[in-house]
């Protein structure tokens, strides 16, 4: 007979709609018509996720006279930008630990730019009236194993030594006074460095702001290829072409129109559940008053947060790499992962037994081997790209948009001077080596979680080479 917790988890999923909660919204705006015929512009932006939308918006803010066109292959916000956890972090380096390991010399600058970037997002949300439930409530990284507690303490002390004073170390009682789970042993609270928001509403709000500034947006308009045309570039689409002086690619994990960029990223599928709205009593049973986001500190981690109507989003843990890096709609759903996530949810919050999940979905994350975005140009500086945000792109895509515009304008700025912007991650090898390497890394990370955080020889070698796998 199945254990009780298993039965509860499966039953809790029986009514879950297989679609992103954020995109399942009757107020979703209608798509803009597809491009038919030829278009000409100063700047063509390819991709209607945050990356492309911020690029179009900032291009207009920098120079209102610039003629900007954006093409989106499907619908604005349908991909990662409409499926994510909505943790909008200041960090540009996929967390402080990764920043310390990779760019210690310029970390103070990176942290300052990241804070300014998050402030600018908050200001844009207010200025354009973007109704995306933006709440700057912070995030607590919680420890659920003793070795994680030691790691959080080490991170706290290292951050203080480097002069970053924004983190608070919480003991077991303090963290459980914020959100009560019997699994929490302590936490590290970043009160200002993370905001939570409604991901799809941010994308739709940015779309509206772009249209308001005169950006011409064409949806269901895939860029098929890219060729030089006179002094600029031309992109072919199903029913027409766009001729542009400059081009910015915000195409995330989809095959880049600049082929040599492709080996730098692999798709990693990440999954999330959303509960039904909690009642007052259910919410009180876990004491979650201050609405901050949470994540646990394992290699295979969970992230969780409240929605505006007091549902809990619970995601993460499994990070699934499809052989050959092949994107497919079939990968968007994975019942075995949903079941695992539901079991973990009830282990974390046994007080919520009986709660049901209303939605379950997945999406592809553009993972690169250094976990934070990379940037570059092609076609003699006429094309710029930014990709590789690895699960922390809600905030940092705005920074990436600024970098792409700096590069296209040929400007030397505090951003383009950064080592992080000038360097590239190590590309992934072809198959079957990528599959094998990622498989061994995933297996080793899971073992490390079960083994007091001890890293085996493979992980130590990867650490030495500055390589990794994450979601």
Ligand X SMILES: Cc1cc2nc3c(=O)[nH]c(=O)nc-3n(C[C@H](O)[C@H](O)[C@H](O)COP(=O)(O)OP(=O)(O)OC[C@H]3O[C@@H](n4cnc5c(N)ncnc54)[C@H](O)[C@@H]3O)c2cc1C
Alpha carbons 291 and 421: distance in angstroms, whole number:
34
Give yes or no for residue 447 binding ligand X (CB under 6 A).
no
CA angle 104, 108, 110 (to 5 degrees): 90
Among residues 212, 220, 355, 213, the alpha carbon closest in space to that of 281 is found at 355
At its nearest, how many Å lie between ligand X and the CB of residue 355?
Answer: 21
Give yes or no for residue 95 binding ligand X (CB under 6 A).
no
Query: Are β-strands 216-218 and 68-71 bridged in parallel, bridged antiparallel, or unpaired?
Result: parallel
Residue nearest ligand X by beta-carbon distance = 393
At its nearest, how many Å lie between ligand X and the CB of residue 235?
Answer: 8
**Alpha carbon distances (Å) from 372 to 296, 325, 379, 413:** 20, 19, 24, 19
3-state class (DSSP) for residue 39: strand
Give yes or no for residue 403 binding ligand X (CB under 6 A).
no
Of residues 27-46, which lie at the interface with ligand X (CB under 6 A)?
Answer: 46
Of residues 259-288, which lie at the interface with ligand X (CB under 6 A)?
Answer: 270, 272
Of residues 212-241, which lie at the interface with ligand X (CB under 6 A)?
Answer: 222-223
Q: Which is nearer to ligand X, 85 or 187 (CB)?
A: 85
Half-sphere exposure of 437 (CA within 13 A, CB side): 17
- Quickly count: other Cβ atoms within 10 Å of residue 433's Cβ: 10
Give yes or no for residue 91 binding ligand X (CB under 6 A).
no
Among residues 60, 66, 83, 241, the one that binds ligand X under rule CB under 6 A = 83
Q: Which residues of 254-272 are buried (b: 16+ CB within 10 A; e: fewer)?
A: bebbbeebbbbbbbbbbbb
Among residues 31, 186, 250, 468, the one that binds ligand X under rule CB under 6 A = 250
* Tokens 């951050």 belong to residue: 159
At its nearest, how many Å lie between ligand X and the CB of residue 358?
Answer: 16
* DSSP per-residue string spanning 76-126: TT-SGGGTS--EEES-SSSSHHHHHHH-GGGHHHHHHHHHHHHHHHHHHHH
Among residues 111, 272, 131, 275, the alpha carbon closest in space to that of 193 is found at 111
Beta bridge partners of 188: 141, 169
Q: Which is nearer to ligand X, 257 or 445 (CB)?
A: 257
Give yes or no for residue 376 binding ligand X (CB under 6 A).
no
Give yes or no for residue 320 binding ligand X (CB under 6 A).
no
Among residues 197, 341, 394, 434, the one that binds ligand X under rule CB under 6 A = 394
Q: Which is nearer to ligand X, 64 or 255 (CB)?
A: 255
3-state class (DSSP) for residue 108: helix
Give yes or no for residue 190 binding ligand X (CB under 6 A).
no
Of residues 110-149, which lie at the interface with ligand X (CB under 6 A)?
Answer: none
Among residues 345, 363, 305, 284, the alpha carbon closest in space to that of 13 is found at 345
Among residues 249, 270, 268, 368, the alpha carbon closest in space to that of 327 is found at 268
At its nearest, how many Å lie between ligand X and the CB of residue 339?
Answer: 17
Number of residues that bind ligand X (CB under 6 A): 41
At its nearest, how many Å lie between ligand X and the CB of residue 239?
Answer: 13
Segment interacting with ligand X, rule: CB under 6 A, options 281-289, 358-366, 426-434, 449-457:
358-366
Alpha carbons 396 and 268: distance in angstroms, whole number:
18
Give yes or no for residue 391 binding ligand X (CB under 6 A).
yes
At its nearest, how many Å lie between ligand X and the CB of residue 171?
Answer: 26
Cis peptide before 432 (omega within 30 of 0): yes
At its nearest, how many Å lie between ligand X and the CB of residue 425?
Answer: 15
Among residues 32, 93, 181, 252, the one that binds ligand X under rule CB under 6 A = 252
At its nearest, how many Å lie between ligand X and the CB of residue 434?
Answer: 19
Q: Tokens at residue 30, please?
A: 């209608």
Q: Which is nearer to ligand X, 149 or 266 (CB)?
A: 266
- Quickly count: other Cβ atoms within 10 Å of residue 319's Cβ: 23
Give yes or no for residue 292 binding ligand X (CB under 6 A).
no
* CA dihedral sign of residues 22, 23, 29, 33: positive
Segment interacting with ligand X, rule: CB under 6 A, options 122-130, 174-182, 183-191, 248-256:
248-256
CB within 8 Å of 280: residues ≥ 6 apart: none
Give yes or no for residue 459 binding ligand X (CB under 6 A).
no
Of residues 406-445, which lie at the interface with ligand X (CB under 6 A)?
Answer: none
Q: Tokens at residue 372, please?
A: 């934070």
At its nearest, how many Å lie between ligand X and the CB of residue 209?
Answer: 15
Give the interface with ligand X as residue ranges (CB under 6 A): 46-52, 71-74, 78-81, 83-87, 89, 222-223, 250-252, 254, 257, 270, 272, 315, 363-365, 389, 391-395, 397
């Amino acid at each position: 007979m199945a254990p009780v917790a298993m039965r509860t988890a499966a039953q809790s999923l029986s009514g879950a709609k297989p679609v992103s909660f954020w995109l399942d919204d009757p107020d979703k705006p209608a798509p803009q018509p597809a491009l038919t015929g030829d278009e000409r512009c100063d700047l063509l932006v390819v991709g209607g996720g945050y990356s492309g939308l911020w690029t179009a918006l900032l291009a207009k803010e920098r120079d209102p006279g610039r003629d900007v066109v954006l093409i989106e292959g499907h619908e604005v916000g349908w991909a990662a930008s409409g499926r994510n956890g909505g943790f909008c972090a200041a960090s540009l380096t996929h967390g402080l630990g990764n920043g310390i390991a990779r760019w210690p010399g310029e970390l103070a600058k990176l942290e300052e730019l990241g804070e300014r970037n998050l402030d600018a997002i908050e200001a844009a949300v207010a200025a354009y009236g973007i109704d995306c439930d933006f709440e700057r409530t912070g995030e607590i990284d919680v420890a659920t194993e003793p070795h994680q507690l030691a790691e959080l303490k080490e991170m706290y002390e290292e951050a203080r030594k480097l002069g970053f004073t924004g983190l608070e170390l919480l003991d077991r009682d303090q963290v459980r006074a914020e959100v009560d789970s019997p699994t929490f042993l302590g936490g590290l609270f970043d009160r200002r460095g993370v905001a939570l928001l409604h991901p799809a509403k941010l994308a739709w709000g940015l779309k509206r702001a772009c249209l308001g500034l005169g950006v011409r947006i064409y949806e269901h308009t895939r860029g098929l290829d890219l060729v030089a045309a006179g002094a600029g570039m031309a992109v072919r689409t199903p029913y027409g072409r766009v001729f542009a002086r400059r081009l910015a690619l915000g195409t995330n994990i989809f095959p880049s129109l600049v082929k040599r960029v492709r080996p730098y990223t692999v798709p990693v599928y990440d999954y999330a559940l959303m509960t039904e709205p909690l009642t007052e009593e259910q919410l009180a049973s876990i004491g979650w008053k201050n609405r901050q986001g949470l994540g646990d500190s394992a290699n295979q981690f969970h992230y969780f947060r409240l929605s505006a109507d007091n549902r809990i989003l619970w995601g993460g843990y499994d990070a699934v790499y499809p052989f050959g890096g092949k994107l497919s709609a079939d990968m968007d759903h994975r019942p075995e992962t949903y079941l695992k996530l539901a079991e973990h949810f009830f282990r974390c919050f046994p007080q919520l037994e009986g709660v049901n999940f209303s939605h379950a979905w997945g999406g592809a994350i553009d993972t690169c081997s250094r976990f934070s975005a990379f940037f570059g140009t092609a076609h003699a500086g006429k094309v710029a790209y930014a990709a590789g945000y690895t699960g922390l792109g809600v905030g940092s895509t705005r920074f990436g948009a600024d970098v792409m515009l700096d590069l296209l304008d040929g400007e030397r700025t505090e951003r383009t001077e950064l080592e992080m912007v000038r360097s590239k991650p190590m590309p992934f090898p072809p198959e079957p080596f990528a599959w094998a390497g990622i498989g061994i890394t995933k297996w080793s990370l899971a073992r490390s979680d079960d083994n007091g955080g001890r890293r085996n020889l493979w992980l130590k070698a990867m650490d030495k080479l500055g390589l990794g796998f994450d979601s």
